[in-house]
Structure 1
Amino acid sequence: MLMKTIFKLLAVALLFASCDDVEPTIYNGNIGQNDTFLSFSRSVYLLPVVQNQTGEVKVVFNSSTVSDVDRVYNIEVGFPEASPANPETFTVPASVTIPAGEYQGSFTIPGVDNGLVDEVVKRFTLTVTNLSDNEYMDNDTTTINIYEVCPLQADFLGTYTIQVASEPLGISAFEAGEVTLVEGDSQYERVFNATVYPGYGGNQQVTLAFACNFLNLGQSIDTNVTCDVEDDTKSLVHAPAELADRSAYDTNDDSYFELTFIEDSQSDCGSPANTVLTFTKVE
């Protein structure tokens, strides 16, 4: 059924800022007076590895309280059944430390091609295992996506006009207008903020992942908008396109490019459909 149904904005009460990018909620920094809420800064991190070379990603671990001693948390690596990464292509430390007097700890994961990384996204997970009785996490696991990239010859930064080229649900997946592309966690990642489903949805951060000759969404976007007025658990989700459906780009020309993504990837309003978002640089 096409989008003639009423959209409804989901009312979502979040302990942390969002499910994709999480900042610490500080009620009161005194660890002796408050429970501690911990979180990875993102639910998904991108680890781009340059073809036949290396790459790295910084992982940030947040706390809602501060302590007068270092806090050390053990890390376990897992491999999902779908497209698991090869352990010979990355190195993860055994633990992450939040230093005394700090609300954050971090560590870097180096990646290496080793002839094993290609354009297919491979995955591994990180899980924190030794929380104390007064420490809590909504989700103690984050996912790392490792994939092959080629150096960008143009900037792909600055102000762009975006416009959705197709509307499979009868309403634009993003509000048309100007956005500002900035570098993300790596030089192969661009992020910007845009309104989803104008009139119904809110502002969301969008991540672009540049690979060799193609680009894609860096991670799924839960729009918090639904067609089903009877079920508040459902939501429209924009997801990365399948490998064969990704948009190509010219690494030497950042004046115009396109992003193909899967709209309604979880069949909330009907069937998933590929949608194209265009980017035209504002000179």
Structure 2
Amino acid sequence: MKKILTLMIAVIAISFTSCEENENEVFDNVNGQTLAFFGNSASSLQVVVDGTGTLDVQIGVTTVSSSERTVVVSLDEEASTANTENYTISNYNVTIPANEYFGTLTIEGVDNSVEIAAETIVLNLESVSGGIVDEAQHVVSVFQICPVEETLFTGSYLITQTTPFVDGPSLSDGTVVELTADGLNRTFDTFNYPNYCSTTNSFTFTLVCNEIFVPTQDSNCVCNSGAGWFSAAATPGTYDISDDTSFELTFTDDTESDCSSPAQTTYLFTKQ
């Protein structure tokens, strides 16, 4: 049966409580309970081929203090897959300066045996001065990169889907999009399943040593949940650093089988 894609609609349920109950629900960022947390759930340590790379992982707390505090971080050795010869964490004790909410954990990468395919460093929070820690982990993807000038693979490109449609095109097939650069990342705005949805969404891919990697990202046009809809291809597209007039971008479509089975989708980008 032909699948029907629908936009996810967030429904906010409002419950009414007494004034007395509401008065007790006051957030106190000075005298309240301190919770330490990672600024986000994932990040990337990009290591230049035969070179190095650096990543700062942000760690925050929910309260402010007139004195500095220490957050203790640990490495989940069992869950991590990255070879320790390729990175160094010199200090697992992160300082939150006085009157601040955030500190940073620095990871230094070096290309001893880093591969293009990402390996992971999995981090946990162990303790924080005078408070508790969030149990959520932070996953760092470690992979090799090759420098690309930010002027390359940017500007106006016509995108054309070259693989069969799955209930229509996956992106804005047959339209011109504008690629912008942020390091090795390239981002453009597109419709997701334009036959059904008319709100644009950003799409990002990364140039990784002649291969085009698509990080896991969400769709805004789905059947149930758009989380992790697009992801890396089984066989990634490639690029030629000496010629950015055209290239092919391949990704896994509907990775979590939200509407149907995952599909390998390819778009041809032609510079205008």
Shared fold, TM over 0.5: yes
Q: 1:143 maps to which residue?
A: 139
Secondary structure of the corresponding residue to residue 222 of structure 1: coil
Shift of 1:54: 1.4
Q: Distance in 2 between matches of 1:255 and 1:8?
A: 35
**1:129-168 aligned within 5 A:** 129-131=126-128, 137=134, 140-153=136-149, 155-156=151-152, 158-161=154-157, 163-165=159-161, 166=163, 168=165
Secondary structure of the corresponding residue to residue 8 of structure 1: coil
1:214 to 186, 202, 211: 211
How has the CA–CA distance of structure 1 residues 204 and 80 changed in structure 2, closer, same or farther, with 3 Å as cutoff?
farther
Structure 1 unaligned blocks of 5 or more: 15-27
Q: Distance in 2 between matches of 1:262 and 1:157?
A: 21
Q: Distance in 1 between matches of 2:187 and 2:78?
A: 26
Q: TM-score, normalised by structure 1?
A: 0.74
Structure 2 unaligned blocks of 5 or more: 13-25
**1:60-139 aligned within 5 A:** 60-79=58-77, 84-92=81-89, 93-114=91-112, 116-131=113-128, 137=134
- The question of whether the paired residues in 2 share the 8 Å contact of 1:72 and 1:98 is answered with yes
Q: How many residues align?
A: 254
Q: Distance in 1 between matches of 2:59 and 2:198?
A: 29
Secondary structure of the corresponding residue to residue 127 of structure 2: coil
Q: 2:15 maps to which residue?
A: none
Q: Distance in 2 between matches of 1:63 and 1:13?
A: 29
Q: Distance in 2 between matches of 1:256 and 1:43?
A: 34
Q: Does 1:241 align with 2:238?
A: no
Shift of 1:119: 1.9
Secondary structure of the corresponding residue to residue 168 of structure 2: coil
Q: TM-score, normalised by structure 2?
A: 0.76
How has the CA–CA distance of structure 1 residues 248 and 142 changed in structure 2, closer, same or farther, with 3 Å as cutoff?
same
Q: 2:178 maps to which residue?
A: 179
Q: 1:200 maps to which residue?
A: 197
Give the letter aligned to residue 226 of structure 1: V
Show CA shifts across 1:139-198 (max 9, x none): 621211111222225633643336351454223333354334131xxx333344544334
Show CA shifts across 1:213-247 (max 9, x none): 11111x211325433xxxx56756111113xx111
- The question of whether the paired residues in 2 share the 8 Å contact of 1:125 and 1:142 is answered with yes
Secondary structure of the corresponding residue to residue 268 of structure 1: coil
Moved over 6 A (4+): none
Show CA shifts across 1:11-56 (max 9, x none): 4589xxxxxxxxxxxxx99522555565434322121212222122
Give the letter aligned to residue 42 of structure 1: N
Q: Distance in 1 between matches of 2:149 and 2:246?
A: 14
Shift of 1:65: 4.2
Secondary structure of the corresponding residue to residue 173 of structure 1: coil
Secondary structure of the corresponding residue to residue 152 of structure 1: coil
Q: 2:16 maps to which residue?
A: none
Secondary structure of the corresponding residue to residue 260 of structure 1: strand
